[in-house]
Structures are given as C-alpha cells and as structure tokens.
C-alpha cells in the first residue's frame, strides 16, 4: 500500500539528513481502511524507542497524500543478505547469525513491551516478522521495521473475521485457526522460521500451493537445520526447535529470552564485523544507492522562507501563535526536501524518482544580478495597501540612463511611493547574497 523513497529532511538552519520516506499510494489514500492502517503504523512506531527498531521521525500530510518520515538505514534487508550468501555458496558465520538474530529479537521485545502515554501496555504483536522486515545496517546493527499489520490494543483498523494478515510461510499455527488469538509468542515462531532460514539459507515452509504450506505448518514438519548444513553447530537445532514448537506454551516466553539463549550459547560478532559482512554481501546494491545519496546531497536546499512560502502546509493566519508557525515551517521544509528535491524509489527494483503525483516544486534561488542592486529599497511591481505583505520574487528596477555630466537622470521608478510596499528580497552587494526583509514576515 506504500512505496519507500530516499529523501532529505532539512532543519530550520539548513542542516539536512537522509531519511526514508514511506509514501501511501494515492489509490490507497482514498480508502479509509488503508489510511487507518497507515496512521496506526505511525502511532505504534512512535511509541517504540529502541536502537534495534527503525525510528519514526515525523508523519506529514501534503496535497492529500500521507508521508511517514523514517530513519534511513544504510544497509540491506536480511532477506537479500541471506539470498546473496546462498548464491555465493558461503554459510553465514555463527557469530554473525547470533548478532543479527539477537539484535532483531531485542528490538521485537521492545515492541512487545511498548506502552501508551499513560503507561497502558499496547499489546503489540508484529505479525510480519520476516527477513524482508529486518534491516541490517553497515553500522552492524539489525533493526526491525514495518509495523503496518501489527496487532495492538489501540488500533483504529481491526482485522476482519476470517482475514489473514502476514506472510503465510512465516505464520504460527495459532494464526491459521478459526479463533486466532496471536500474542507475543506468535512472533517467536516467526523468529524461529527466520533463524532456520538464516542457517540453512533456503526456505523452510514451501509448497506448490498455500494448502501444502498450511499443512506443513500445522503438522510441525520441520527438519533440524543441521540436516541441511554440514558442520553446523547442533546447539542451533535446540534453539530452533523450541522457537518452532507447535504449542505457544513450549516456546520461549519472550523475544528477549530467545535472544539471551542465543547470546549465552554463541559469541555474537561485534558491530564492526557485522557491518563489514553487510558491506561485502551487498556491495553492488550499496554502490548503486550511494549514487542516489550523492545526487540528493548535491541538490539545492530551499531556505526556510522559501519552503514556508512554497508549501500549502505552512499557510497560517497572522493570529497563529509563533510555535505553530514554526512547526508549520519545519513541516514545509520536510515536504520541500521530500517532494521538491526528487525522491528516489528504493522499492520495486530500485526505480528512481517519485511518480507524477508528487509534482510540487519549491522556488529556486535567482542568480545574482550582474551589478549590485541599489542600496535603496527597490519598489515592488505593484503597490498595495494590505497590512500583510505578500512574499514575492525580487523585483528588478528599470535601467537608468546616466548623462555625461555624471549626475543621474531623475527617475520616478527609483522613488517608492507612500503606498508602495518594499520588495521582500534584496541583494546585499557587500556579502553578495540575496536577503529577506524582516518587516515582510513580522
């Protein structure tokens, strides 16, 4: 229901940072159920604060579209890293498996423990803990992402009776029952599937159709990963077996308990070692993405006033409190960075650029004039007696003829009338930059 783009978030002082922009598709934005799911995901993500969970930075509405501003993780999904390892025919070292799985499980536990502002448990169940939703960064940190279909006590949108949510091959048996009541141990089963696939570097539950996959899950037909990997430490078999138990009561009670079992059995690799593994395994993809990052970093940044003027989100009445105007300006900067600079799609095969629906463009800075502008205020193109001056592009005065005597010829254009308002921008000849007049924005 959404596409993830690469963008840049700009502060009031022009300081920018790379962000991931999750953008709800326009056809989904017209459906209340999809909008509710999107908003629920943002609310839940905002309540989970942990280094092993992708952070939510902001939620923006612009031109009838919704944008979720998320922490950008320079790295790759666990699914692609495992696939790359399988294609290379190289097993993933036990130390790296332990570090990645333990980190992701600690992030999952933080989601399970999240609470509302008043301390009420949210009761989050991810329901989609899969290799596609675990990001491993070049900083060596594994992060859990995408709470779009998570179950929680405060969701606006609830699962309809008989509706399955999640990827079938990672669902726990209790999710497939008529009276499904998933809890945190449901995510433990999914984590067991992810761990098995990391070790064996192949899919666990496969079949010619969904019915065959369901039967394998319900019957617990799981081979130990050591049957598929020569020389694998048998200690992994015991951890996987407990996580994949058919009865929730036989599984690890919490994600933290499973992480601690892995850490106690194996010595997790340090972040530097995990980061080096990611950089090597995903070298091609990271190289392409580095080009996108450089392109965005080189793009010009609109000033606060320009972003405020360009974005309809920032339109405020004169009576609005300063705090509200400042918040609006910040949101405007975010939209200018995301929409105007040109987002680069990270999903769907790495397609570049936002689609035609994001056609908002911030005004660009005009080139300085060949000669410094006169010191006196340059009159605007039209006079106005309104109390709130309208921001406008810098007006250029007409060329002035200078007689041979050296004195300037009289010019009415150089003398602003009593009713004319000054231009909001002027050229500072000493500093050689355009500036804004404070009185225009009081």
- Kindly list the catalytic residues: 128
> What 8-state DSSP symbol labels residue 201?
S
Backbone phi, then psi, for 59, in 5-degree steps? -130, 120
Residue 69 forms beta bridges with which residues? 21, 58
DSSP 72-87: ---EEEHHHHHHHHHH
Q: How far apart are CA 358 and CA 66, in angstroms?
A: 11
Give 163: exposed, middle or buried? Use CB within 10 Å, 0-12, 13-18, 19+.
Answer: exposed
CA distance 258 to 301: 46
CA distance between the termini of the chain: 42
Instruction: Give me the phi and psi of 345, to 5 degrees please.
Output: -70, 130
In this structure, the number of other CB atoms found within 10 A of the CB of residue 364 comes to: 10
| Distance in angstroms (rounded) separating the CA atoms of residues 199 and 307 | 49
Does residue 175 contact residue 69 with C-beta atoms inside 8 Å? Answer: no
In sequence order, which residues have a C-beta less than 8 Å from that of residue 389 and are 6 or more positions away?
A: 421, 422, 424, 439, 440
Which tokens sit at 237? 């078999």
Q: Containing H/E element for 17?
A: strand 16-24
Alpha-carbon gap, residue 392 to 85, rounded angstroms: 57
Distances (CA, A) of 74 to 20, 71, 143, 403: 10, 10, 11, 64
CA dihedral angle for residue 104, residue 180, residue 115, residue 19, rounded to 10 degrees:
50
Helix axes of 271-281 and 283-298: crossing angle, nearest 10 degrees: 90
Q: Are 187 and 108 in contact (CB under 8 A)?
A: yes
């Amino acid at each position: 229901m959404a596409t993830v783009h690469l963008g840049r978030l700009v502060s009031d002082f022009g300081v920018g940072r790379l962000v991931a922009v999750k953008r709800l598709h326009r056809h989904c934005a017209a459906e209340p159920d999809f909008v509710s799911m999107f908003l629920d995901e943002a609310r839940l993500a905002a309540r989970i604060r942990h280094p092993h969970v992708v952070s939510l930075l902001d939620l923006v509405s612009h031109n009838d579209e919704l944008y979720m501003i998320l922490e950008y993780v320079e790295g790759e999904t666990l699914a692609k890293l495992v696939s790359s390892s399988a294609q290379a025919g190289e097993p993933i070292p036990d130390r790296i498996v332990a570090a990645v799985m333990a980190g992701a499980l600690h992030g999952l536990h933080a989601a399970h423990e999240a609470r509302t502002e008043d301390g009420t448990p949210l009761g989050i169940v991810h329901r989609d803990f899969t290799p596609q939703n675990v990001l491993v960064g070049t900083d060596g940190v594994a992060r859990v992402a995408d709470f779009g279909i998570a179950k929680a006590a405060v969701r606006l949108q609830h699962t309809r009776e008989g509706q399955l949510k999640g990827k079938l091959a990672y669902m726990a048996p209790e999710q497939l029952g008529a009276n499904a009541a998933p809890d945190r141990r449901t995510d433990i089963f999914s984590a067991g599937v992810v761990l098995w696939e990391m070790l064996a570097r192949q899919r666990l539950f496969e079949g010619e159709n969904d019915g065959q996959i369901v039967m394998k899950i319900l019957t617990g037909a799981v081979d130990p990963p050591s049957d598929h990997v020569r020389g694998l430490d048998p200690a992994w078999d015991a951890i996987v077996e407990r996580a994949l138990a058919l009865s929730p009561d036989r599984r690890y009670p919490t994600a933290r308990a499973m992480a601690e079992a892995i850490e106690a059995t194996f010595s997790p690799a340090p972040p530097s070692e995990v980061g080096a593994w990611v950089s090597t395994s995903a070298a091609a993809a990271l190289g392409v993405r580095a080009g996108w990052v450089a392109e965005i970093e080189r793009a010009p940044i609109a000033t606060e006033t320009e972003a405020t003027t360009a974005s309809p989100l920032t339109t405020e009445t004169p009576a609005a409190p300063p705090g509200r105007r400042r918040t609006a300006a910040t949101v405007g900067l975010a939209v200018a960075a995301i929409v105007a600079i040109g987002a680069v799609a990270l999903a769907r095969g790495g397609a570049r650029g936002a689609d035609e629906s994001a056609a908002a463009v911030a005004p660009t800075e005009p080139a300085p004039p060949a000669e410094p502008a006169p010191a006196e205020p340059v009159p605007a193109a039209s006079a106005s007696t309104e109390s709130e001056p309208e921001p406008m592009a810098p007006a250029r005065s007409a060329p002035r003829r200078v007689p041979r005597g050296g004195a300037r010829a009289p010019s009415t254009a150089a003398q602003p009338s009593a009713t004319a308002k000054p231009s909001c921008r002027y050229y500072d000849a000493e500093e050689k930059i355009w500036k804004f007049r404070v009185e225009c924005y009081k």
